[in-house]
A and B are shown apart, each in its own frame.
Chain A
Amino acid sequence: MSNTRSHTSPQADLKKSTVKLFLAVAAWVGSTALMSFGPSAFWDFDTAITFLAIVANLILGVLMLYSFFRHLKNMDELQRQTHLEAMALTLGITMVLTVIYGALPQAKVVASAQPANVLFVIGMSYILSVITLWLRRTRE
């Protein structure tokens, strides 16, 4: 029923998976920056190198997802439930706000909708949801 593949303590496993997740996220962010700015800054829009950068970004993205799932598995059940509820909240908040944001250019309130803003909403919603849900359950 519990995690039986580990021979170390759950806290040690969680610390290890946190470090691995941090490294995976850092590698993905780095490859995203390279994919975005590399063509103009480093290889003068060479299509083959850009293609390689995209493939590298995709592979690192999959590795980041894998690291995140491993990290979730190493959490204890309250931590895991908190993160899963935060993900559900984030999905709802992002969906509602993205629909509104997507309608703004048509209403000529903003010139154009930028995908980076949606990513910002996802990140902030997730962080705030995790903190709020965790504090609600664990405040002394």
Chain B
Amino acid sequence: MKNRLKALRADRDWTQADLADRLHVTRQTINAIEKGKYDPSLPLAFKIAAVFGMPIEEIFSPDTK
């Protein structure tokens, strides 16, 4: 799954640690999601969408390789 987490975070001038605090996860989890090494659960994806105030599909998209 692809995501725009890094770009959205950069737009808001948040560090990985800032976003991790908002989502109650570790910074390593944010890093793994941004690098595509880990796909978040649906509850976490909803939390991410809520933090950025956007629909999930504008943040995550299927990896069509």
Q: Which residues of A contact B (CB under 8 A)?
A: 1-2, 9-11, 76-79, 81, 134, 136-138, 140
For A11, A78, A79, A140, the residue with the greatest tally of chain B CB atoms inside 10 Å of its CB is: A78
Given contacts A2-B24, A78-B28, 16 further A-B contacts (CB under 8 A): A1-B43, A9-B24, A10-B24, A10-B25, A11-B26, A77-B40, A77-B41, A78-B25, A79-B29, A81-B38, A134-B28, A136-B37, A138-B31, A138-B32, A138-B37, A140-B31
Q: Which of B37, B40, B46 has the most CB of A within 10 A?
A: B37
Could you name 11 residue pairs across A and B whose Cβ atoms are closer than 8 Å? A1-B46, A10-B24, A11-B26, A76-B26, A76-B29, A77-B29, A77-B40, A78-B32, A134-B28, A138-B31, A140-B31
CA distance A78 to B29 in the complex (A): 6
Number of interface residues of B (CB under 8 A): 15
B1-34 interface code vs A (CB 8 A; 1 in, 0 out) = 0000000000000000000000011101101100
Binding site for A on B (CB under 8 A): 24-26, 28-29, 31-32, 37-38, 40-41, 43-44, 46-47
With A1-B43, A138-B32, A140-B31 as given contacts, are A78 and B38 in contact (CB-CB < 8 Å)?
Answer: yes
Alpha-carbon separation in the docked complex, A134 to B40 (Å): 15
Q: How far is the CB of A66 from chain B (nearest CB, A)?
A: 23
Closest B residue to A136 using CB positions: B37
Are the C-beta atoms of B43 and A2 separated by less than 8 Å?
yes
Specify the chain A residue showing the minimal Cβ separation from B43: A1
Task: Please measure, in the bound complex, the distance between the C-alpha atom of A103 and the C-alpha atom of B57, giving whole angstroms.
Answer: 54
* Identity of the chain A residue whose Cβ is nearest the Cβ of B31 in the assembled complex: A138
Q: Tell me the bound Cα distance from A11 to B44 in angstroms.
A: 17
